[in-house]
Amino acid sequence: MLRPVRRIITGHDAHGNSIIIEDAPSPHVLENSAQEG
């Protein structure tokens, strides 16, 4: 069973501070049945 995969996109604001732009489930997830774990 596939665990949920999240896509976190980061960047910097005008002051150079780290910011999170997007934190959401990944729209494209592929499962490789030949690989366990």
| pLDDT tens sequence across 3-36 | 788 999 999 999 999 999 999 998 888 777 776 6
Residue 16 domain-assigned? yes
Query: Within its chain, how far is the Cα of 27 from the centroid?
Result: 9
Residue 18 lies in a domain: yes
Is 33 domain-assigned?
no
Please report whether residue 5 resides in a domain: yes
pLDDT for the residue 27: 84
What is the tally of structural domains in the chain?
Answer: 1
**Residue environment code for 9-37, b if the CB has 16+ CB neighbours within 10 A, otherwise e:** eeeeeeeeeeeeeeeeeeeeeeeeeeeee
pLDDT of residue 7: 93
Query: Given this model, what pLDDT does residue 37 score?
Result: 59
Q: What pLDDT, on the 0 to 100 scale, is given for residue 1?
A: 60
- Does residue 32 form part of some domain? no
* 4 in any annotated domain: yes
Global pTM? 0.60
Q: Reply yes or no on whether the pLDDT at 2 is more than 70.
A: no
**Which structural domain range is residue 14 located in?**
1-27
Asked whether residue 19 is assigned to any structural domain, the reply reads yes
For residue 31, the model assigns a pLDDT of 77
